[in-house]
Structure 1
Amino acid sequence: MKAIVIDQYGNVEELKEREVLKPIVKGNEVLIRILATSVNPVDWKIRKGDLQEQLRFSFPIILGLDVAGVIEEVGEEVEYFKVGDKVFTKPENIGKGSYAEFITVKSDLVSYMPTNLSFEEAASIPLAGLTAWQSLVDYAKIKEHDRVLIHAGAGGVGSLAIQIAKSFGAFVATTASSKNEEFLKSLGADLVIDYKKDKFEELLSDFDIVLDTIGGEVQEKSFQIIKSGGVLVSIVHEPIQKVKGIKSGFLWLKPNGKQLEALSKLIVHGKIKPIISKVVPFNEEGVREAHILSEGQHVRGKIVMKVKLNHKKLREKYYPKSHIFILDSISYWTCNVISIIYSFVLYHVISVNQSTYLFHLTLNS
């Protein structure tokens, strides 16, 4: 299978396309054909060698911690999923990740994709969504009317954290540049603080929760605005200090299929929407571009890598004895019209991406 690997730590030139062995499915695993993945800061930090002390790897390393795709094979112990299911997940094995055509993942870490998302949109959710969920829901125990500060709200984690916090009925303040103010308010933020002009520690007080996505001096100043009994959770590093009466800690993300299901429900009901700044092709050049953009740290939402589809292979693999036709570059409205016309023989429609639909008909072969 094709994969993007690194053989040593270094710059983006170390990201190289190569043929590697396709993974073998174990009893409790599913094999997923990856149709979209995305880049996260941990990817380029590993590539540069910044996390050598925390994470030990054997080269070559396949980076990538977001998966959206179709199940290709299921292990003998798997009951919940079948071949052809559209799923998304955050894989457990960091060194054998999603910059590849296929990946094996334990079935309990996998969830069905939200029915209203494309593969590209779904690929933007797992790592960032689970990070935000585990920070706010698991660690901070967020509840209605909590006052929550989310640093760097325009980023991948921040943009989802704002929406999750609002779904719980919290008051949300966030820090960002002024150019992102309207965007963040559209996500539900009640107050946007321009970090270039204003000092959040002078404007805010009596907050229940702070989600620290920056660390350092920002984390240190965040303790000043938290009330007694409040919580600071960092996704960057362990808190530099401990303050009496304030619970604080570092979140180490854990893959979780059930939590992805919870996020999926919020997405289907319109409580959360994925934020994608750019979609690049899944190849050597595209992955390198994604790393450069992410490392610049001024990206709104996520950068997604899209796998080029082979429609013939997709049709032969999942529907070998059925009548299938695939239409590119059509609108959702056009898709609905076609579905009505063929309703008497239409089994189902798969949204491959935002403008490509696969129609499965139940005619005799």
Structure 2
Amino acid sequence: MPISSVPGYDVAGVVLKVGSQVRTLKEGDEVYGNINEKGLDRPKRSGTLAEYTVAEENLLALKPKNLGFIEAAAIPLAIGTAYEGLQKTALSPGKSILVLRGAGGVGTMVIQLAKHVFGASKVAATSSSAKLELLKSLGADLAIDYTKDNFEDLPEKFDVIYDAIGQSERAVKAIKEGGKVVTIEPVGELAEPAFRFILTSSGAMLETLNAFLENGKVKPVIDPRGTFAFSQTPQAFSYLETGRVTGACIKVYMESKHQQ
């Protein structure tokens, strides 16, 4: 995998210049997106932790009107991973789902999308004791404290399990016959029938979900201590490495005259 010289996937900002073949965006548009279409296997060398960044038109969408730039920058990678994973499981109205690591960046989005976009009949999620109320506030019908209960030992089984922590071997014990387990964590070999996928980011996906973001049914979750000024980038990565982050991992912002 090539190493990026400038890190960063998500971006939210103002379009300053457009190429000659750009048709849907114009200078002055407020946009957001993940600038890597296939970030896990083909990341760009120049990422978004910079004053300016370049992105293809098809990877950006107009920023939801009700969100600021910091909030919008917390969304693209997490919501795209959540949405595509749920699509691949064929989650549909009336089905139940269990989200492992529900308080993480992807997990918080999976809970909300499963409930408000895909129409799941029941959403369960795991977290530590301190984050159970957060899960409920996002729409989880059942919040499971993983420090006290083993989810695979519960009598209830689920149609879909979204594994955002890398526990497919345990997850397959908690699905109904014919159920599906999707995982995003490359931890060892997958236990059948669990499967893994690589996100394909697009502005069209964000446009599809903008209505849910603008009506407040889906919202970004940013760790209360997870927002850092650009000059604090090293501290941001140090905090990320603690493994105690809630919601969106870290958000580094740059004060700019273009975002006043």
Normalising by structure 1, we get a TM-score of: 0.66
Deviation for aligned residue 1:184: 1.0
Q: 1:149 to 1:212 in 2, by over 3 A?
A: same
| Higher relative contact order (Cα pairs below 8 Å, separated by 6+ residues) | 2
1:133 aligns with 2:93: no
CA distance in 2, matches of 1:95, 1:159: 29
Q: How many residue pairs align between the two structures?
A: 249
Q: 1:180 to 1:250 in 2, by over 3 A?
A: same
What is the aligned partner in structure 2 of residue 22 from structure 1? none
1:198 aligns with 2:160: no
Greater CA deviation, 201-210 or 174-183?
201-210
Deviations 1:264-291 (A, max 9, x none): 22101211011111321012xx111111
Deviations 1:285-324 (A, max 9, x none): x1111111111121111221111123xxx3xxxxxxxxxx
Check conservation: 1:91, 1:97, Cα contact below 8 A: yes
Letter in 2 for 1:252: I
1:72 to 16, 34, 41: 16
> Structure 2 regions of 5+ residues with no counterpart?
37-42
What is the aligned partner in structure 1 of residue 218 from structure 2? 272
CA distance in 1, matches of 2:191, 2:141: 28
What is the aligned partner in structure 2 of residue 306 from structure 1? 253
> Structure 1 regions of 5+ residues with no counterpart?
1-54, 315-351, 353-357, 359-365
Check conservation: 1:238, 1:250, Cα contact below 8 A: no
What is the aligned partner in structure 2 of residue 281 from structure 1? 229
1:1-365 aligned within 5 A: 55-57=1-3, 61-92=5-36, 93-137=43-87, 139-167=88-116, 168-170=118-120, 171-215=122-166, 218-237=167-186, 240-243=189-192, 246=193, 248-277=194-223, 278-283=226-231, 286-302=232-248, 303-310=250-257, 314=258, 352=259
CA distance in 2, matches of 1:307, 1:69: 10
Deviation for aligned residue 1:205: 3.5
Check conservation: 1:120, 1:306, Cα contact below 8 A: yes
Deviations 1:329-353 (A, max 9, x none): xxxxxxxxxxxxxxxxxxxxxxx5x
Deviation for aligned residue 1:239: 7.2
Letter in 2 for 1:272: V
CA distance in 2, matches of 1:205, 1:186: 22
Equivalent position SS for 2:15: strand
Deviation for aligned residue 1:118: 0.1
Deviation for aligned residue 1:254: 1.4
Letter in 2 for 1:153: G
What stretches of structure 1 move > 4 A for 4+ residues in a row?
Answer: none
CA distance in 2, matches of 1:241, 1:223: 10
Check conservation: 1:219, 1:239, Cα contact below 8 A: no
Deviation for aligned residue 1:78: 0.8
Q: 1:190 to 1:201 in 2, by over 3 A?
A: same
CA distance in 2, matches of 1:265, 1:192: 27
Check conservation: 2:132, 2:143, Cα contact below 8 A: yes
The share of aligned pairs that are identical, in percent, is 38
Deviations 1:195-245 (A, max 9, x none): 111111011543111111111xx22011001112211111112772443xx
Check conservation: 2:168, 2:190, Cα contact below 8 A: no
Check conservation: 2:184, 2:197, Cα contact below 8 A: yes
What is the aligned partner in structure 2 of residue 348 from structure 1? none
Deviations 1:8-51 (A, max 9, x none): xxxxxxxxxxxxxxxxxxxxxxxxxxxxxxxxxxxxxxxxxxxx
CA distance in 2, matches of 1:115, 1:260: 13
Equivalent position SS for 2:171: helix
Check conservation: 2:9, 2:47, Cα contact below 8 A: yes
- Larger Rg: 1 or 2? 1
CA distance in 2, matches of 1:94, 1:128: 18
